[in-house]
Structures are given as C-alpha cells and as structure tokens.
Amino acid sequence: MIRHILIFTLFITFMAVGATETKQSEDKDFNELRSSIASLKEELALVKVRTISACRICFQETEGSSQCQGQRHSCSGWSTHPEWTLPFRDDTDNRSGGCLYQWKLECHKGI
C-alpha cells in the first residue's frame, strides 16, 4: 500500500515537472522533485526496517552416550513475550563422557 502511494506521488510530481514551460520553472520543479525523492528514500528506509515479532528457543542433544537420551531436537512454541524457560537439570552420573547440548534462538522478523 505504501509502495503504491509513493509511486503515485512520484508520478504526480514527475507530471508536474513535465508540464512546466520555462527553464527557470523547470529547474525549480526538478529541484523539488529531487528533494521529494530524497525524502521518500528516507521514509522507505524506515519502512524497510524489520523488527523481531516472535522468538523461540531450540535445543539439540548432540551425543548419544549412555548418559544421554540419544540425539534429541526440539523447539519451544513461538513467543511474543520474553520469559525464562522451564528449569533444566543435567543429571549425569559423574562418569566420563557426559552429554553435549546446544541451544539456538530463532526469531520471526516482520515490518
């Protein structure tokens, strides 16, 4: 919608420049058009800024030793409100090896 408005505005401004008859008037209109285009570029840059709308945390177990439960991979649901995760307990039995885990944060971006 914004894109259509901007294109229409540029078209109208361009048509106004084309309708001028004197060189001085054309220069003035061209400078106004240039200024309008610069302003529109700045506004478009602000519109293109993408903000994070929702995130989730993903967990992956990367080792399948007897102390671990294999190679699990799961993600939480998407959240729009930051909160702490549920508590996590790594209850190994002090044998060599242990479990390796990884976490990552995934986020949706939108305008």
The residues pairing with 96 across neighbouring beta strands, listed in sequence order, are none
Amino acid in position 75: C
Every domain of the chain and the residues it spans: 2-47, 51-84+96-110
Distance of CA 75 to the CA centre of its chain: 20
- Reduced to 3 states (helix: H, G, I; strand: E, B; else coil), residue 11 is helix
pLDDT value, residue 77:
84
**Is the per-residue pLDDT at 98 higher than 60?**
yes
pLDDT in tens, 24-67: 677 777 888 888 888 888 877 776 566 778 888 888 877 666 66
Could you give the C-alpha distances from 5 to 12, 27, 44, 50, 64, in angstroms and in order? 11, 25, 11, 20, 57
Q: What is the mean pLDDT of the chain?
A: 72
pLDDT in tens, 55-77: 888 888 776 666 676 667 788 88
By percentage, how much of the chain surpasses pLDDT 90?
0
What are the strands, taking DSSP E only, across 1-111?
51-61, 73-75, 101-110
**Is the per-residue pLDDT at 105 higher than 80?**
yes
The residues pairing with 9 across neighbouring beta strands, listed in sequence order, are none
Q: Give the closest residue to 106 by CA, choosing from 50, 55, 53.
A: 55
